[in-house]
């Protein structure tokens, strides 16, 4: 899983911003900090490379609402949604951006969850992130990422001189410390499960301190991201280009794979070149010996095998047939054994014996030639071998049927 860069904005561009880098795989904070205001967002541009950028908006700037529906949620209802909300809002509906959440059932009635925010304010933040090369993957109201609350209980955490609350899956709020008493009274004095030290609460409130889970607010939010599918980046504001994010996920793997592929191709190319070189040398040796056997004939390399068979057929009953049969058997050796060069050939017609004086790189090469010829059914006698500088010279006798 890729690392996440969380950025929590203020209500205005002049307010404090919080940021945190979190590793879901390691479940730990990589780095965290604050920006004095939005003009310092360029400090996060480099930190965003290869990471998912998630923006958290102050929840008092995003209104969550559950809209009751006459029937199951469908496209026609989505088109009619602004008109269904018009009576419940104080501003012009066109001034709002409405993001659609998941359809739900309340009792036996269909409903859909929606989030609303000021369109101009929302677009201004999107433009600001784009200006600083921050490709925002997901946008959420901050308190939506509080852990879920039990019945008659709210979850809460302190952030930037406010307390964020969550009551149920789609009810969130932000409250100034001085308003806590009135807010909780209006809520019916629920139990408060808090993830920050709670010293400012009225004594009448039943507090449930989650001390083992005390953490930075953004770290707590990061842990809840995998459980939240909702995203304000939808419709006309949906992130269109994900190439940078994709490259961040796979950059290391792609580089390693590319290096391995190039290395493999290079090795194969070298091996192919060596094999082609050996093949060309073998062809040259075959052609050379064929021309010695049949002076004045035109050699066609790709038809050399058929040429030899044809020549043998023509002289099948002549006195040279034995010599050609032996040399034909010998020709195949040169394509199998490297650094083996014949110097002289003498043919004894009566004994149908071919004597060859040859030069090789070592004694083992003569043994290899002898073994190959014997596998072809010939009688082979190897004479004495001797060193001649960097080479070994010797004689081999081949006998066919008399």
Return phi, psi of residue 50, to 5°: 75, 10
Which residue matches tokens 């993957």? Answer: 137
CA angle in degrees (0–180, nearest 5) for 209-213-215:
110
CA dihedral of residues 323, 327, 329, 334 (deg, nearest 10)? 170
- Length of the chain counted residue by residue: 402
Q: Which two tokens stand for residue 226?
A: 């995998």
Q: Is 379 left (phi over 0), alpha (psi -120 to 50) or beta?
A: beta
The DSSP bridge pattern shows strands 52-57 and 4-8 to be parallel
Residue 360 CA from chain centroid, whole number: 53
Which residue matches tokens 């070149």? Answer: 273
Average pLDDT over residues 75-96: 89
Q: Are residues 38 and 67 in contact, defined by beta-carbon separation less than 8 angstroms?
A: no
91-97: Cβ within 8 A, 24+ apart:
94/119, 95/119, 95/120, 97/122, 97/232, 97/237
The pLDDT tens digits for 222-265 are 999 999 999 999 999 998 755 444 444 455 556 677 777 777 78
The pLDDT tens digits for 94-126 are 999 999 999 999 999 999 999 999 999 999 999
User: Which is it for the CA torsion 349, 350, 351, 357, positive or negative?
Assistant: negative
The pLDDT tens digits for 276-326 are 787 777 677 767 766 666 666 666 666 666 666 666 565 554 445 567 677
The pLDDT tens digits for 27-57 are 999 999 999 999 999 999 999 999 999 999 9
CA distances from 377 to 85, 188, 398, 399, 400 (A): 99, 106, 10, 10, 9
Task: Give the pLDDT of residue 245.
Answer: 47
Average pLDDT over residues 352-376: 85
Task: Give the pLDDT of residue 294.
Answer: 62
Q: Which two tokens stand for residue 23?
A: 């590793």
Nearest CA-CA partner of 20 in 49, 47, 38: 47
pLDDT tops 60 at residue 374: yes
Average pLDDT over residues 169-186: 93
CA angle in degrees (0–180, nearest 5) for 104-109-114:
40
Task: Give the pLDDT of residue 351.
Answer: 80
Q: How far apart are CA 81 and CA 111, in angstroms?
A: 11
Q: How far apart are CA 305 and CA 63, in angstroms?
A: 87
Q: Which two tokens stand for residue 348?
A: 């004894």
Q: Is 184 exposed, middle or buried (0-12, 13-18, 19+ CB in 10 A)?
A: buried
pTM to 2 decimal places: 0.61
Average pLDDT over residues 147-169: 93
């Amino acid at each position: 899983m890729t690392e996440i860069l969380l950025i929590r904005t203020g209500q205005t561009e002049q307010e404090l911003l919080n940021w945190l880098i979190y590793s879901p795989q390691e479940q730990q904070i990589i780095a965290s900090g604050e920006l004095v205001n939005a003009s310092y967002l360029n400090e996060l541009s480099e930190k965003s490379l290869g990471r998912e950028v998630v923006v958290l908006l102050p929840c008092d700037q995003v209104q969550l609402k559950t809209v009751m529906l006459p029937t199951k949620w469908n496209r026609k209802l989505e088109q009619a949604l602004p008109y269904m909300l018009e009576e419940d809002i104080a501003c012009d509906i066109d001034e709002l951006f409405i993001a659609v959440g998941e359809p739900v059932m309340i009792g036996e009635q269909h409903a859909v969850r929606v989030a609303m925010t000021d369109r101009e304010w929302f677009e201004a933040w999107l433009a600001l992130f784009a200006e600083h090369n921050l490709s925002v993957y997901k946008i959420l109201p901050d308190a939506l990422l509080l852990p879920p609350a039990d019945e008659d209980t709210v979850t809460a955490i302190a952030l930037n001189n406010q307390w964020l609350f969550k009551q149920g899956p789609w009810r969130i709020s932000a409250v100034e410390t001085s308003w806590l008493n009135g807010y909780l009274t209006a809520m019916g004095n629920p139990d408060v499960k808090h993830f920050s030290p709670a010293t400012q609460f009225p004594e009448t409130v039943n507090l449930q301190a989650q001390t083992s889970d005390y953490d930075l607010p953004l770290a707590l939010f990061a842990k809840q991201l995998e459980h939240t599918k909702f995203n304000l980046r939808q419709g006309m504001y949906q992130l269109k280009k994900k190439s940078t994010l994709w490259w961040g996920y796979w950059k290391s793997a792609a580089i390693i794979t590319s290096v391995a592929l190039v290395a493999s191709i290079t090795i194969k190319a070298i091996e192919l070149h060596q094999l082609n070189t050996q093949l060309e040398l073998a062809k040259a040796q075959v052609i050379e010996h064929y021309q010695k056997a049949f002076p004045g004939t035109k050699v066609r390399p790709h038809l050399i095998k058929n040429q030899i068979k044809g020549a043998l057929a023509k002289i099948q009953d002549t006195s040279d047939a034995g010599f050609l049969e032996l040399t034909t058997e010998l020709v195949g050796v040169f394509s199998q054994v490297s650094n083996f060069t014949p110097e002289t050939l003498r043919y004894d017609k009566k004994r149908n014996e071919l004597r060859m004086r040859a030069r090789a790189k070592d004694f083992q090469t003569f043994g290899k030639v002898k073994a190959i010829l014997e596998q072809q059914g010939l009688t082979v006698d190897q004479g004495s071998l001797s060193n001649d500088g960097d080479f070994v010279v010797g004689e081999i006798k081949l006998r066919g049927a008399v």
